[in-house]
Structure 1
Amino acid sequence: MCRWLAYSGSPVNLEELLYKPANSLVIQSKHSRMGVETTNGDGFGVGWYGTSPEPGVFHSTEPAWHDRNLRELAAQASSRRVFAHIRATTGSAVQQTNCHPFRHGRWLWMHNGLITDFPAVKRELAMAVEPGLYPEIEGSTDSEMFFYLALTFGLEQDPRGAVAAAVGLIEDTGRRHGIEHPIQMTVATTDGDTTWAFRYSSERHSRSLFHNTDIATLRAQYPDNPVLQELADNARLVVSEPLGDLRGAWREVPDATCVVVHGGGEDLFPFSPSVS
């Protein structure tokens, strides 16, 4: 369906994240190892925080491996917090407004998965979006609708609670339309200071999600690894699939879990939908 990564830590060049790892996101756009589809070529997007209050975003409908502008941008730009996403559409159009990450104010959002049979529930879900937010929806994806439902339920004040409420509404709506498994998701969202990532599905068999282990520990285990020597101790990555094969470098996020990354650490919490 899609692949994504969320980085936080000391400023890093985008090229180090998107191109240089052995199983980089650009490699995954053609040769995903753990995704539903091997190829994720229906566009991509990058979001990053710089000197402005709001993050910058760059979207393209080109396959990530084919876009010269992405290569140029990645070679020059650096940031302390980066979201990147490669897209395999589940039915919506290939257009820039459907590329992740989506932005609202300081917030970024990206999603791998789907709202099952989205056309059947789209109108009802759209009616649940707060009227003042609805005009900001630019594209036609279930992922963007999901974002605006989370914003409606208070994402900016309580991300874990808002995502739980949005998922609860999606499941309740889907099941009233006869849909057995209404949602499949790994989601990442950030306000520029903290990242929240979620792994969940109605069928309890969710898409893959991993986070990196402690960099200082890995550096001690692999003193001759040049990549680890360059990373700061506070570097944290949450990814759809590992960026390399270094033993001990990655931990799978358990199903029905929220990962909260702040500063140089992360906390894991159980996640379940809530119904108001």
Structure 2
Amino acid sequence: MCRFLAYSGRAIFLDTLLIAPNASLVRQSLAAREAKTVVNGDGCGVGWYGARPEPGLYKGILPAWSDANLASLCHQVEAGLFLAHVRSATSGEVTMANCHPFASGRHLFMHNGQIGGYESIRRSIEALIPDDLYHSRRGNSDSEAMFLAAMGGSMSQDPAGAIAAMLRTCRRIQQANGVAQPLRFTAILSDGKALHAFRWSSDDHPPSLYWCQLETGIAVASEPFGDTAQLWRPVAPGTHMVVIDGKVDCRDFEVFASLAA
């Protein structure tokens, strides 16, 4: 399983959270504590929102712990909203195109989990991507396919609804093809203003997710990092969490819960 981190709040240098803390995301790339896969060395990426309309994006296939370019960028870039990801590949080769976050317009997306049996239903899943977005498909992972499929829905008006519709269709494709493996989806989505965090799976065992109130803003992560005195709160399965203007709103994913099978 991959590890990721997202932050929303007062502008800070990226290395403040990604590199400096105890058990930081970069350290988790070498020694994750709450993942079945301890080493997440199949590439890394970071996306951030700055002065321009669309987010900045950096990806690399080196492990995060040995990527000097990532360390230099994090030391220099300051942002009030950013997403970062270290990858342990479950589908798709180890290539830059398969590294998270993925971008489309102002949206950034990253994912921890998998569509069970993806290789046997990949063609059907990719068919969910609208024609006008298919040219954006750069890699061959299930994560990117899910993101672009959801972007074809009402993402700007109703992000949770677009994600729910995509997951519902993916689950139906699994069932129609006799795929017994679960669909697991812990993910972060942002449009540059709000952070949307999702934790759901078809077998009630979604990858972990936590959030914490920092002095400067809100952090959302696969596993806690930093000072052990910080209060990290687990995000319950079947939850859609929205972070905007320093406020956290956790909502039930009733539409997701009805899909469990």
- TM-score, normalising length from structure 1? 0.90
Q: Deviations over 1:61-106 (max 9, x none)?
A: 0000001111111111110001000000014111111000000000
Structure 1 position 13, deviation (Å) = 0.5
Amino acid at match of 1:53: P
Q: Which structure 2 residues correspond to residues 113-124 of structure 1 after superposition, within 5 A? A: 113-124=113-124
Which residue is 1:7 aligned to? 7
Q: Which structure 2 residues correspond to residues 61-210 of structure 1 after superposition, within 5 A? A: 61-210=61-210
Which residue is 1:219 aligned to? none
Aligned equivalents of 2:147 and 2:76: distance in 1?
30
Give structure 1 regions of 4+ aligned residues with deviation exceeding 4 angstroms.
none
Which residue is 2:220 aligned to? 238
Which residue is 1:253 aligned to? 235
**Retained in 2: the 8 A contact 1:43–1:86?**
yes
What SS class does the counterpart of residue 166 from structure 1 fall into?
A: helix
Partner residue of 1:265 out of 244, 247, 252 = 247
**Retained in 2: the 8 A contact 1:175–1:182?**
no
Amino acid at match of 1:196: H
Aligned equivalents of 1:51 and 1:245: distance in 2?
31
Q: Deviations over 1:163-183 (max 9, x none)?
A: 110110111110111123441
**Retained in 2: the 8 A contact 1:103–1:109?**
yes
Structure 1 position 248, deviation (Å) = 5.4
What SS class does the counterpart of residue 73 from structure 1 fall into?
A: helix
Query: Identity over aligned residues, as a percent?
Result: 40
Count residues with an aligned counterpart: 257
Structure 1 gap segments, 5+ residues each:
216-230
Aligned equivalents of 2:231 and 2:143: distance in 1?
29
Q: Which moved more, 1:181-190 or 1:16-25?
A: 181-190
**Retained in 1: the 8 A contact 2:117–2:181?**
no
Aligned equivalents of 1:165 and 1:204: distance in 2?
18
Structure 1 position 120, deviation (Å) = 1.2
**Retained in 2: the 8 A contact 1:181–1:202?**
no
Q: Which moved more, 1:181-190 or 1:262-271?
A: 181-190
Structure 1 position 156, deviation (Å) = 2.0
Q: Deviations over 1:181-212 (max 9, x none)?
A: 44111110000000100001111011110011
- TM-score, normalising length from structure 2? 0.95
Amino acid at match of 1:255: P
Amino acid at match of 1:146: M
CA-atom RMSD in angstroms:
1.3
Which residue is 2:46 aligned to? 46
**Retained in 1: the 8 A contact 2:189–2:197?**
yes
